[in-house]
Chain A
Amino acid sequence: MSTVVQPTTIIQPTIGWGSPNIGELWAHRDLVYFLIWRDIKVRYKQTVLGAGWAVMQPVLTMAVFSLFFGKLVKVPSDGLPYALFTYVGLVPWTFVANGLMQASNSLVGSSNLLTKVYFPRLAIPVAAVIAGALDFVFAFSLVFGMMLYYHVAPGAYIVFVPVFVLLSVLVALGVSLWLSALHVQYRDVKYILPFFLQFWMFATPIAYPSSLLHEPWRTLYAINPMVGAVEGLRWSLLGTNTAPGAMVLVSAVIAILLLAGGAYYFRRMERTFADVV
């Protein structure tokens, strides 16, 4: 007689909204790891530039912004070199935007898996977002090079950088859960997403500083959670004197609400994924 306790699973219809099964996702962490690893490996195998794209994308956008907004329109940049100013905004933005692009399509893209094998469905969009972290690291490392070049020394606040990176990750995860689940039901998401990302980028202080706004509008502006992430990163890294405390707080609350709402919505839709996708 073996004394191994076998896991018992109860299968029954979920009543009401159900709660997100984070414990199960943790139990399948190896799966998340392999999905991330697959996404990264395949992308770096298939593209000639590989890691180069991670840097090219924000760098090229920075060049365009510097030319039009920095040189021609002369948008203020909180007293910092415009290129550095906008690049620090572009790095987290690129991470979030790419994460959303990958994740929103992730469930539909793995429809054959959804209908054939059981595993926590959360693993798919979560892995799609986190797979972008490596790109983020590459793009972010260039920030230090630029700071050296422009002679911008980081202050003590640099210790808060991880907080704002985490905030970006929360935003990307939260919105991804909504979009990926919506996409299973409504294929319109694919067409809406590019516009949505474009609007969102210009609604985020990437090409311009949020200091253009006065209080209380600035704090209200942070309802866009990327405002807190971008301004916070600039403050901690470049020492802008925008003191984004209230903004960061508002953005963080919104990001957490988005994530929690997304997780619940995902849980609700998850049951019918295999039937609908």
Chain B
Amino acid sequence: MSCAIRAEGLGKRYQIGQLQSGHTTLRDGLLALCRAPLRAARRRAAAAQRDNEIWALNNATFEIKAGDVVGLIGRNGAGKSTLLKILSRITEPTCGRAEVNGRVGSLLEVGTGFHAELTGRENIFLYGAILGMHKGEIARKFDEIVEFSQIGKFLDTPVKHYSSGMHMRLAFSVAAHLDPEILLVDEVLAVGDSRFQRKCLNKMEDVAHGGRTIIFVSHNISAITRICQRAISLEEGRIIDDGVAHEVASRYMTRGLGTRALREWSDLRHAPGGDVCRLAAVRVRDHAGTVTDTIDIREAVGIEIEYEVLEDGHILRPDFHLWNDDGIRLFAALDQDQEWRRRRRPAGRFVSTGWIPGNFLAEGHFFADVNICVLDPEISLVRESSVVSFQVVDSMEGDSSRGDFGGHFAGVVRPKLHWTTDYSLAESMVS
């Protein structure tokens, strides 16, 4: 396999001031000019100013083979977008070198090249040209682009009359038909409704299967593990991890940089709750009891609620509600432990854990709200929303509810059902 991208020691330095204020004024320029004679004397002071520099990307060295689909993960400001901007030549690196073999297409926020006054038809040509297509090439793919975008009869309407969904669809269709050898994608899925996001994701999977090299940045870790074979993890401008996508993703998660599997209140006096009881900690545990925010889809996941009862003699009921990242509340689960149900509790530490079975949740991110109520009469003591979150991943080994299906899988839950099959010879064949 030939090499699509080879980067050696790529780095990008920004002045913090430059990042904050952006452009300077002529006045600043003139002042700097007047001060030039003094500059030598100030050079030493300037060295101290180095503190004002940040390396948005620092010494990035990696190789990407042609046909690889690589995900970039990391927190905001970790350098993912800077790396994409350097590879797509939007900005020059401060140091280092990269060799890029093949035409590069970048989808950094689709649709920025649209002009509101022009019609859909006109914008297809304009945006196509901005992305680097030739006129003949756009004309050749024109019907395909229109077909994919589903804007049909609005083709000759100015784009300013489009809904935001139509706008997005058209923009993505043009970009998706660019057919570059290397595709750089930054958070395209962060926009548009979830149906459209899914369509984009599917299109990207098609492109990935078509043997293109893709570098994909997303906060949506499950999108990365689904599309990419390999992932690179960045932190403070440096590459800190590089390897098989779902392994890198899970290490990234357990590093506590993305979702939160653990929430603790060290000072109980300021913890949520009141005089009767206060919340001490909420944890997400896997089947082995490890606190983690990445859960194998086949395994059970426990939501552990630790709280301190400060006053004797109350009947308490902890519960949690589970939400997915589309904002759908999947269910609520009330503590049904027979031992403590309807029983007045003494003061002390309690740990209640509710186990969600394996092969039940779909892939994706989940958030838990935690509540503790006192019963008789029912009063809510603790009410914390999105205290912990975790993600469910499918390692695609074929024994989940997916079976051997690798594509987009709909549904908010994904139970693995017991299937039966009856077989008999067809009537016509008996005789």
| Partner-B contacts on A (CB < 8 A) | 6-14, 28, 30-31, 33-35, 37-38, 41-42, 45-46, 112-119, 184-189, 271-272, 274-277
- The digit string for B125-153, where 1 denotes a CB below 8 A from any CB of A, is 11001111111000000000000000000
Given contacts A41-B118, A185-B23, A276-B18, contact A116 B112 (CB under 8 A): yes
Given contacts A11-B100, A31-B130, A38-B118, contact A187 B18 (CB under 8 A): no
Given the complex, which residues of B lie within 8 Å of A11, measured CB to CB? 10, 86-87, 89, 92-93, 97-100
Chain A, Cβ-Cβ closest to B135: A30
The yes or no answer to B90 lying at the interface (CB within 8 A) is yes
Chain A, Cβ-Cβ closest to B2: A6
How many residues of chain B get a CB closer than 8 Å to chain A's CBs? 49
Most buried by B among A35, A38, A189: A38
Given the complex, which residues of B lie within 8 Å of A14, measured CB to CB? 92
The smallest C-beta distance from B29 to any residue of chain A, in angstroms, reads: 6
Choose the segment among B103-111, B192-200, B274-282 that binds chain A (4+ C-beta atoms closer than 8 Å).
B103-111
Given the complex, which residues of A lie within 8 Å of B18, measured CB to CB? 275-276
A116 adjacent to B108 (CB under 8 Å): yes
A9 adjacent to B104 (CB under 8 Å): yes
Given the complex, which residues of A lie within 8 Å of B98, measured CB to CB? 10-12
Given the complex, which residues of A lie within 8 Å of B87, measured CB to CB? 11
A9 adjacent to B89 (CB under 8 Å): yes
The smallest C-beta distance from B417 to any residue of chain A, in angstroms, reads: 45
The yes or no answer to B117 lying at the interface (CB within 8 A) is yes
The yes or no answer to B76 lying at the interface (CB within 8 A) is no
The smallest C-beta distance from A265 to any residue of chain B, in angstroms, reads: 14
Q: Bound state CA distance, A9 and B180, in angstroms?
A: 14
Given contacts A13-B95, A115-B90, A271-B92, contact A7 B102 (CB under 8 A): yes
Chain A, Cβ-Cβ closest to B96: A12
Q: Bound state CA distance, A271 and B122, in angstroms?
A: 30
The smallest C-beta distance from B37 to any residue of chain A, in angstroms, reads: 22
The smallest C-beta distance from A276 to any residue of chain B, in angstroms, reads: 6
A33 adjacent to B135 (CB under 8 Å): yes
**A-B residue pairs in contact (CB < 8 Å), sample of 21:** A7-B102, A9-B100, A9-B104, A11-B92, A11-B99, A14-B92, A30-B134, A31-B132, A34-B129, A35-B126, A38-B118, A117-B88, A117-B108, A118-B89, A118-B104, A184-B23, A185-B24, A186-B23, A186-B24, A188-B25, A275-B14
The yes or no answer to B91 lying at the interface (CB within 8 A) is yes
Chain A, Cβ-Cβ closest to B88: A118
The yes or no answer to B115 lying at the interface (CB within 8 A) is yes
From B24, B29, B113, B122, contact of A41 by CB (8 A):
B122
The yes or no answer to B181 lying at the interface (CB within 8 A) is yes
Given contacts A6-B181, A8-B101, A116-B109, contact A277 B90 (CB under 8 A): no
The yes or no answer to B383 lying at the interface (CB within 8 A) is no
Q: Bound state CA distance, A34 and B104, in angstroms?
A: 20
Q: Bound state CA distance, A224 and B92, in angstroms?
A: 36
The yes or no answer to B164 lying at the interface (CB within 8 A) is no
The yes or no answer to B85 lying at the interface (CB within 8 A) is yes
B22 adjacent to A276 (CB under 8 Å): yes
From B90, B94, B101, contact of A117 by CB (8 A):
B90
The smallest C-beta distance from B24 to any residue of chain A, in angstroms, reads: 6
Q: Bound state CA distance, A168 and B103, in angstroms?
A: 37
Identify the 3 closest CB pairs spanning chains A and B, nearest first.
Answer: A188-B26, A34-B129, A271-B92
Given the complex, which residues of B lie within 8 Å of A276, measured CB to CB? 18, 22-23
Given contacts A28-B132, A185-B24, A276-B22, contact A42 B117 (CB under 8 A): yes
The smallest C-beta distance from A59 to any residue of chain B, in angstroms, reads: 27
B118 adjacent to A42 (CB under 8 Å): yes
The smallest C-beta distance from A88 to any residue of chain B, in angstroms, reads: 34
Most buried by B among A34, A119, A271: A34
Chain A, Cβ-Cβ closest to B89: A118
From A31, A117, A185, A272, contact of B112 by CB (8 A):
A117
Q: Bound state CA distance, A41 and B117, in angstroms?
A: 9
Chain A, Cβ-Cβ closest to B100: A9
- The digit string for B113-125, where 1 denotes a CB below 8 A from any CB of A, is 1010110001001
A277 adjacent to B25 (CB under 8 Å): no
The smallest C-beta distance from B99 to any residue of chain A, in angstroms, reads: 6
B132 adjacent to A113 (CB under 8 Å): no
Chain A, Cβ-Cβ closest to B98: A11
Given the complex, which residues of B lie within 8 Å of A115, measured CB to CB? 85, 90
8 more A-B contacts (CB under 8 A) besides A8-B99, A185-B24?
A7-B101, A11-B89, A11-B98, A28-B129, A115-B85, A117-B112, A117-B130, A277-B22
Given contacts A10-B98, A119-B132, A186-B24, contact A114 B90 (CB under 8 A): yes
- The digit string for B178-200, where 1 denotes a CB below 8 A from any CB of A, is 00010000000000000000000
Given the complex, which residues of B lie within 8 Å of A42, measured CB to CB? 115, 117-118
